[in-house]
Structure 1
Amino acid sequence: MITKLPKWILWGGAVLAFSAGSVNSIALLGFTNLSVSHVTGNVSLFSAAIAHFDGRSVLLIGASLLAFLAGSILSGFIIGQNSLKLGRRYGSALYLEATLLMLSYWLYQQHDYLGQLAAAMACGLQNAMVATYSGAVIRTTHLTGLTSDMGAAIGNWMAGRSISKPTLGFQAIIWYCFCGGGVVGAFLYAKINYAAFIVPIIIVLAAAFIYNKVSDRLPERRRPTL
């Protein structure tokens, strides 16, 4: 349960959720019409493709699912552990995510399905990178579990039970930022097509740069290897 939320987690979670919402909207509106930021819906599509013996869709959707998993594996390899703590190699992971998004942008422009895979891998990397803080599960690329947690917390509050207001507030910020990112991504895609990827790329690069600057100010014994 979160009792006090460090600003770096608050701002980091917010901007990364905004970025993921934007990327997902662009992917959904693009030529693949397939999500890159979450898995549940794609698994349902994958199951339907199997049921209808649609081999092409099975391969394409399956590859996207595996790409998301691969991104999560990369996060575990680079960062390790599963709880947020200033001083870990988040800067390296963020720069890698930005690289994947730049690659995705270029590939989507060529109408190459590998752009879908690069974007899904970037989202898997981000989602696994932001895992937990003080026992609260933090997800920045999809809202299903977060919405359920918010609903349960509100229900407990209505029943007169104590809840963690900082946790609920943070979850609400993530929800609105993901939604806002989706609005911006959809709007920009309608205006400038796949160049809309420039916004999430800049956001992730800025987050990596700022994180590294903050980490450099830590005492030497706490400074991470970036």
Structure 2
Amino acid sequence: MITKLPKWILWGGAVLAFSAGCVNTTALMGFANLSVSHVTGNVSLFAAAIAYSDAHSILYIGALLLSFLAGAILSGFVIGQTSLTLGRRYGRALYFEAALLIAAYWLYQQHDYLGQLAAAMACGLQNAMVATYSGAVIRTTHLTGLTSDMGAAIGNWLAGRSISKPTLGFQAIIWYCFCSGSTVGAFLFAKVGYDALLVPIAIVLSAAFIYNYVSSTLPEKRQPKL
């Protein structure tokens, strides 16, 4: 349960949620018409493809699911552990994510379905990178679990039980930022197509630069061993 939220987690979660919303909407509105950040929906589509014996969809959606998993594996390999701690290798992970988004952008321009896989891998990496803080699960690439947690907290509050207001507030910010990013992504895609991805690419690269700068200014004794 979050009692006091460091500003770097608040701002980081907000901008990454905005970025993920933009990426996912762009991917969904593009020629592939598939989400890259929502595993649950894609599993349902995968099951439907199996039911209809649609070999092409089975292979492609299966690859999409594995790409998200591969991104999460890469996050675990680069960062290690699951608790958010300033000083870990988040900057390196963000550079990997930016590289994947750049690759997706280039592949999309070639009308290559591999762009969808690169974008899914970037989302998997980001979602695993932002894992937990003070026992609260933090997800920045989809809203299902987050909405459930918010609803349960509001229900407890209405019943007169105590809740963690900082946790609920942070979850509301993530929800709003993902929705805002999705809206911006939709508007941009309608106007400039896949150039909409330049916004999340710029966001992730900026986050990497800022994080590395802040980490480098910490006293050596405050930085955890990697």
The TM-score normalised by the length of structure 1 is 0.98
Q: How does 1:161-176 map to 2 (within 5 A)?
A: 161-176=161-176
Q: Distance in 2 between matches of 1:225 and 1:101?
A: 29
Q: Equivalent residue for 2:207?
A: 207
Equivalent residue, structure 2, for 1:197: 197
Is 2:209 the partner of 1:216?
no
Aligned 1:115-154 pairs, distance under 5 A: 115-154=115-154
Q: Is the contact between residue 79 and residue 90 of structure 1 (CA under 8 Å) also seen in structure 2?
A: yes
**Are the aligned partners of 1:216 and 1:223 in contact in 2 as well (CA < 8 Å)?**
no
Residues 14 and 63 of structure 1: CA distance in aligned 2, closer, same or farther (over 3 Å): same
The residue that corresponds to 2:81 in the other structure is 81
Counterpart in the other structure of 1:41 = 41
| Deviations 1:16-58, CA, capped at 9 Å, x for gaps | 0000000000000000000001200000000000000000000
The AA in structure 2 aligned to 1:36 is V
Q: How far off is 1:222 after superposition?
A: 3.6
**3-state DSSP class of the match of 1:31?**
coil
Q: Does the C-alpha gap of structure 1 residues 42 and 223 become closer, same or farther in structure 2, counting only changes over 3 Å?
A: same
Gaps of 5+ in 2: none
Please name the residue that 2:185 is paired with. Answer: 185
Distance in 1 separating the partners of 2:167 and 2:225: 29
Deviations 1:114-161 (A, max 9, x none): 100000000000000000000000000000000000000000000000
Residue 32 of structure 2: SS of its match in structure 1?
A: coil
Task: Output the CA distance in 2 between the equivalents of 1:38 and 1:88.
Answer: 26
Partner Cα distance (1:73, 1:221) in 2? 29
What is the rounded CA distance, in whole Å, between the counterparts of 1:222 and 1:56 in structure 2? Answer: 52
Conserved? CA contact 1:215–1:224, under 8 Å:
no
Q: Would you say 1:64 and 2:64 are equivalent positions?
A: yes
Q: Secondary structure at the match of 1:67?
A: helix
Distance 1:43 1:115, change over 3 A: same
1:107 aligned residue: 107
CA distance in 2, matches of 1:182, 1:16: 12
Q: Secondary structure at 2:112's aligned position in 1?
A: coil
Distance 1:216 1:223 in 2: 9
Shift of 1:225: 8.4
State the SS of the aligned residue for 1:192: helix
| Contact kept in structure 1, 2:86 and 2:223, CA below 8 Å | no
What percentage of residue pairs aligned between the two structures are identical?
81
CA distance in 2, matches of 1:157, 1:221: 41
RMSD, aligned CA = 1.1
Cα separation, 2, equivalents of 1:15 and 1:225: 27
AA aligned to 2:62 is G
CA distance in structure 2 between the partners assigned to 1:38 and 1:51 by the alignment:
21
Tell me if the contact between 1:89 and 1:225 (Cα under 8 Å) persists in the aligned partners.
no
Distance apart, 1:221 and its partner CA: 3.0
Give, in angstroms, the shift of residue 219 of structure 1: 1.0
